[in-house]
Structure 1
């Protein structure tokens, strides 16, 4: 999971870059299960991205993709803070059911 705070003056540009990167990750990387960005309704500059990868190797491969590197370069000046939180699923079977419901 990634928690970010974006400078308000850069928010529209940041959101555009984030949408582009999330879509490319989902479409181009088989190891990316989810790149799901959300913002707090009370404060849209506070963004959380739920990222789910098939495994650690898929995450490491994601960091080396051209679209991720472009996103990082283009948004570096826009991000006030970034906190990465490693999480582990308690019940991976239930996670599968969540995505199955989307069909």
Structure 2
């Protein structure tokens, strides 16, 4: 799915009441799965949790545009989820992200049963004078990883709408073995060498999969 127009991406940080956990998983899964089946312009939705905090959720949503998101918000399954969430959430923070490079394998989340994937979230602050070189290096590395590594399933590079020097990467690997193998590839080592002076700050965390859905094979590159 080659996208020529920039999709809309939202990230939500949610804090859930512990006693609402079981219901949240049911409502959330139903909302995501029905949405990806019935809304062709809802491109991907990923519900995750912080590795060491089962009640701190992270949700990524990708739509073709704002109109697609509004259609989703009027869907019956979302309205049921939203009604539940009013009482279930202690905190909700929304961040709009600018898509920089979005890549998925053709068979990413094809609907077949799979073991939980390894999901990594990276937050990088880029020094302004290195931004152009950083972008070239990371785009090259990402495309090689998707093309050459069977265990690298999807990579999303985004920047914060109001902080363009801060980039968020959401990365999906088949498992820990695939992730560790990725770190040792020539293209990743080349990326590290080329960007070692570009980063002002770097934060990494592992997220646990709850519900992952996608239309599949997303390919979008931001042109500047």
TM-score by length of 1: 0.89
Task: Measure the CA separation in 2 of the matches of 1:34 and 1:88.
Answer: 15
Larger radius of gyration: 2
Alignment partner of 1:77 is 2:163: no
The separation in 1 between residues aligned to 2:217 and 2:183, in whole angstroms, is 29
Residue 84 of structure 1 deviates from its aligned partner by: 0.5
Q: 2:131 matched to which residue of 1?
A: 11
Moved over 6 A (4+): none
2:198 & 2:167 partners in 1: Cα distance?
12
Q: Could you list the runs of 5+ residues in structure 2 that have no partner in the other structure?
A: 1-120, 219-224
User: How far is 1:35 from its partner?
Assistant: 1.5
* Structure 1 Cα separation of the partners of residues 215 and 180 of structure 2: 23
Which ranges in structure 1 are unaligned for 5 or more consecutive residues?
A: none
Distance 1:42 1:9 in 2: 18
Larger RCO (alpha carbons 8 Å, 6+ apart): 1
**Cα RMSD after superposing both structures:** 1.3
Give the deviation of 1:100 after TM superposition.
3.2
State the alpha-carbon separation in 1 of the partners of residues 167 and 141 from structure 2: 15
Deviation at 1:10, TM superposition (A): 0.5
Larger strand share, 1 or 2: 2
Post-superposition shift, 1:36? Answer: 1.1
Q: Which residue of 2 aligns with 1:2?
A: 122
Structure 1 position 101, deviation (Å) = 7.6
Task: Deviation per CA, 1:20-55: give whole Å up to 9, x if none.
Answer: 011111111010011210001212110001110000
In proportion to residue count, which structure has more helix?
A: 1
Determine if the alignment matches structure 1 residue 33 to structure 2 residue 149.
Answer: no
Q: TM-score, normalised by structure 2?
A: 0.42
- Aligned residue among 174, 177, 182 for 1:62: 182
For this pair of structures, how many residues does the alignment match? Answer: 98
Q: Give the drift of 1:99.
A: 4.3
Question: How far apart are the structure 2 equivalents of 1:100 and 1:34?
Answer: 10
Q: Residue deviations 1:51-79, cap 9 Å, x none?
A: 10000000000000000000011101000
